[in-house]
Amino acid sequence: MAKAKKRGASMRHQQHQRKFPMKRLFKYLLLVLSIGGLGFWLSGPLEPGSYPIHSVRVVSPIEHVSQSALKEVIEPQIGEGFFRINVDQISKDIEKLPWVHRAAVRRVWPGQLVVNIEEQQPFAIWNDDALVNVEGISFKPEQMSDQLVGLPHFVGPEGTEKMISERYRELTESVVSRDINIVRVDLSGRRAWQLELDNGLILNMGRESVVKRLQRFAGVYQSDIKPKLAQIDGIDLRYTNGFAVRWRQAAT
């Protein structure tokens, strides 16, 4: 009886060995078919022109960036299709436009590009032919519109835009309640400062203690300077404890 049992077990083991390779082969076939199907599915969408972009939507309000300029940047990329289009490159190309500070482009299924643009915020006119934004970075628009006339003028060596912007803020905050309005800031190559007020008065500030000197001037502006503006040609504040007034030739 023991021999018969052993013989039966041996036969079942042999049958199992014959069946096992078939199961493994079937699994391999399924894996190959799955990979092939995946490759076929991926190759289709990645072909140029597959699932083409059919619309572009700008979701942020724009005032200075023209629609035609955006079209020139985006249109050459449209033929790449939804999956192949390089939205990062389009964002970089849009940021090269004069009035664009930052740009972000994303895909929306099935065939749309959504564009978000942060325009430049002009803070001052830079060297008479460009602008400085609120972060102290210069940029050059194609045209200087009349709307920018009221901005202060900054003049200085290239690379000093941020320095002048920060100094302008310090100076205006120090005299905000003294009826003194700065309309022009000049920084020379030797880093000497000169200010022009809205009444035409020129202040030579020197290179050091500029804010302190302006505050000293502001302390006597209303009582001693403003009543005599018509007789004053300029003021030199490059003194330790005071300033010098340069009178017009007609003044006595």
Alpha carbons 217 and 212: distance in angstroms, whole number: 9
Tokens of 198: 């809205």
Q: Are 59 and 114 in contact (CB under 8 A)?
A: yes
Decide if pLDDT at 4 tops 70: no
Stated pTM of the model:
0.76
Decide if pLDDT at 244 tops 60: yes
pLDDT of residue 27: 60
Tokens of 175: 């005299």
Domain ranges of the chain: 1-43, 55-119, 122-247
Percent of the chain with pLDDT over 70: 79
Query: For the segment 108-162, what is each residue's pLDDT rounded down to a tens digit?
Result: 998 899 999 999 999 999 999 999 999 999 999 988 888 898 999 999 999 999 9
Alpha carbons 136 and 230: distance in angstroms, whole number: 35
Backbone phi, psi, residue 133, to 5°:
-85, 180
Homologous superfamily (CATH) for 122-247: Cell division protein FtsQ/DivIB (3.40.50.11690)
Q: Which fold has domain 55-119?
A: Ubiquitin-like (UB roll) (3.10.20)
